[in-house]
Amino acid sequence: MLKSSFWLLLLIILIGCSPEQPSSQLKQIYARDSIRVGILHGPTSYYVGVDGPIGFELELSQALADKLGVQLELFPSYQLEDLLQKLATGKVDYIAGGLTLTEQRQAQFRATPAYRWINEVLVFRQGETWPRSLSELTAPIVVKDSSHAETLRQLQQENPDLVWQEEPILDSDEILQQVIDGEVAYTITDSNQLALNRRFYPKLSLAMTVKDNLPVSWLLADNNDDSLFTVLIEFFGNVYQNGNLIALEDKYFGHVQEFDYVDTLAYIDAIEQTLPQYRPWFEHYSGELDWRLLAAVSYQESHWNPVAKSPTGVRGLMMLTLPTAKQMGVTSRLDPEQSIRGGSRYLHRLFSRIPERIAMPDRLWFALASYNIGWGHVEDARKLSQAMGADPDKWLEVKPQLPLLRQRRYYQHTKYGFARGDEAVTYVENIRRYYDTLLWVDERQQAEQRIEQQKLRLSEQLDSVTLPPITPEVEPESALKPEPEHNNF
Q: Which residues are catalytic?
A: 301
Please say whether the beta carbons of 192 and 250 come within 8 A: no
Question: Which is nearest to 347 in space by CA: 377, 327, 322?
Answer: 327
Contact 357, 393 (CB under 8 A): yes
The H-or-E segment that residue 262 falls in is helix 261-273
Q: What angle do CA 313, 314, 320 make, to 5 degrees?
A: 150
CA distance 354 to 392: 12
Helix or strand holding residue 441 (H, E):
helix 421-464
Distances (CA, A) of 257 to 198, 333, 423, 432: 10, 34, 17, 12
| Residue 301: how many other CB atoms lie within 10 Å | 23
Can you give the length of the chain in residues? 489
Amino acid at 249: E
Phi, psi of 355 (to 5 degrees): -55, 135
- Burial per residue of 372-396, b for 16 or more beta-carbon CB atoms within 10 angstroms, e otherwise: bbebebbbbbbbbbeeeebbbbbbb
Cβ neighbours for 146, distance < 8 A, ≥ 6 positions apart: 80, 166, 172
Q: Per DSSP, what are the bridge partners of residue 217?
A: 99
CA–CA distance, 60 with 236 (Å, rounded to integer): 10
Q: DSSP state, 394? A: -
* Helix pair 275-284, 261-273: axis angle to 10 deg: 80
Burial class (CB in 10 A: 0-12, 13-18, 19+), 61: buried
Cα(68)–Cα(365) distance, rounded to whole angstroms? Answer: 30
Is residue 215 a contact partner of residue 120, using CB atoms and an 8 Å limit? Answer: no
| Rounded CA separation 165/143 (Å) | 8
Given a contact cutoff of 8 angstroms between Cβ atoms, the answer to whether 139 and 183 are in contact is: no
Long-range CB contacts for residues 378-384, cutoff 8 Å, separation at least 24: 378/402, 378/424, 379/415, 379/416, 380/405, 380/411, 380/414, 380/415, 380/416, 380/419, 381/405, 381/421, 383/414, 384/410, 384/414
